[in-house]
């Protein structure tokens, strides 16, 4: 399984428009973060988690010429704003793209992209095959996907486990039963917004406590705000404390599991 981090930034990305903080002004490529998304390549399938506003740029930059499925974590714009651009895959492969999400999220996609689902379709609209999922495991061909339920402030949303890899973003709380689904991981990706606490996201400490509780072989932090600081500084702090067991992800990072 090959995982490519297409974006590791929070909803505003880094740099933030018009911001003059040190992180936003940094010249390092590690401080350029598109909105969070990962591409999973497994058994000849290309599975994307989330399609935010940088979807087009990400597909071009990482030369993703085939897209078999998109798993959506939740309905916030930084996770679904790119769905209109699946049109290119529709044209080339002459079929809709499978989009997996839970019922509330499907309903909101239908509202936000009402022109796509209207009775009289405008020519050339994106074609998505919306597939409703729950907290129960499902399959994409022979690939087992295990949805993991957690909370983003009060909003119940989903992360995903595939084999020994799990992707948990925009989390602020999780129940003990769901934690069971995240045992014995090789790689855990979890969001860590910044150092200061936040009402709807794990901060750095909360993400680290979560990682310690689950003890995966290695953990990567994503969905990062400019307020976290520069990649180089945070990476140095993490290395000192956790000796490469917990790392800050960056755009373009590739891991093979
Ligand atoms: Zn988000
Ligand atoms: Zn900034
Ligand atoms: Zn969110």
**The residue to which tokens 């992180």 are assigned:** 23
Distance of alpha carbon 13 from alpha carbon 24, whole angstroms: 10
**What pLDDT, on the 0 to 100 scale, is given for residue 100?**
98
- Bin 61: left if φ > 0, else alpha if -120 < ψ < 50, else beta: alpha
Structure-block tokens of residue 100:
């997996």
Say if residues 160 and 153 touch (Cβ distance below 8 Å). no
> What is the domain-level CATH number for residue 114?
3.60.15.10
Phi then psi dihedrals of residue 47, to 5 deg: -115, 130
> Please, which residues have CB within 8 angstroms of residue 257's CB and are 6 or more apart in sequence?
1, 2, 3, 163, 164, 165, 186, 187
Domain that holds residue 125: 2-256
**What pLDDT, on the 0 to 100 scale, is given for residue 244?**
83
Handedness of CA 152, 170, 134, 167 (dihedral sign): negative
**What pLDDT, on the 0 to 100 scale, is given for residue 50?**
98
Neighbours of ion ligand 2 (CB under 5 A): 16, 19, 21, 24, 226
- Cα 92 to ligand 3 centroid, rounded to whole Å: 31
- Structural domains counted in the chain: 1
Say if residues 67 and 93 touch (Cβ distance below 8 Å). no
- Cα 159 to ligand 1 centroid, rounded to whole Å: 12
Say if residues 89 and 127 touch (Cβ distance below 8 Å). no
Of the ligands numbered here, which is closest to the C-alpha atom of 153? 3
> Please, which residues have CB within 8 angstroms of residue 63's CB and are 6 or more apart in sequence?
none
Of the ligands numbered here, which is closest to the C-alpha atom of 33? 2
**What pLDDT, on the 0 to 100 scale, is given for residue 122?**
80
**Mean pLDDT of successive 10-residue segments in the chain (257 residues)?**
98 98 98 98 98 98 98 98 98 97 98 92 91 98 98 98 98 97 98 98 98 97 98 97 95 98
Q: Structure pTM?
A: 0.97
- Cα 30 to ligand 2 centroid, rounded to whole Å: 14
């Amino acid at each position: 399984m090959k995982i490519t981090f297409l974006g590791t930034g929070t909803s505003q990305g880094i740099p933030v428009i018009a911001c003059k903080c040190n992180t936003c002004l940094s010249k390092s490529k590690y401080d350029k973060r598109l909105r969070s998304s990962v591409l999973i390549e497994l058994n000849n399938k290309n599975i994307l988690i989330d399609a935010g506003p940088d979807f087009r740029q990400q597909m071009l930059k990482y030369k993703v010429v085939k897209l078999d499925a998109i798993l959506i974590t939740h309905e916030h714009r930084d996770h679904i704003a790119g769905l209109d651009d699946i049109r290119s895959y529709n044209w080339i492969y002459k079929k809709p793209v499978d989009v997996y999400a839970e019922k509330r999220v499907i309903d909101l996609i239908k509202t936000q992209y009402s022109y796509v689902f209207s009775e009289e379709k405008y020519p050339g609209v994106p074609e998505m095959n919306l597939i409703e999922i729950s907290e129960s495991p499902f399959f994409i061909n022979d690939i087992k996907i295990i949805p993991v339920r957690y909370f983003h402030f009060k909003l119940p949303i989903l992360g995903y486990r595939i084999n020994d890899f799990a992707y948990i973003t925009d989390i602020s709380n999780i129940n003990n039963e769901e934690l069971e689904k995240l045992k014995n991981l090789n790689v855990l990706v979890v969001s860590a917004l910044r150092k200061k606490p936040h009402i709807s996201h794990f901060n750095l400490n909360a993400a680290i406590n979560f990682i310690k509780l689950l003890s995966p072989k290695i953990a990567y932090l994503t969905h990062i705000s400019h307020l976290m600081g520069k990649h180089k500084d945070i990476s140095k702090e993490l290395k000192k404390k956790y000796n490469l067991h917990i790392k800050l992800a960056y755009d373009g990072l590739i891991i093979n599991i």
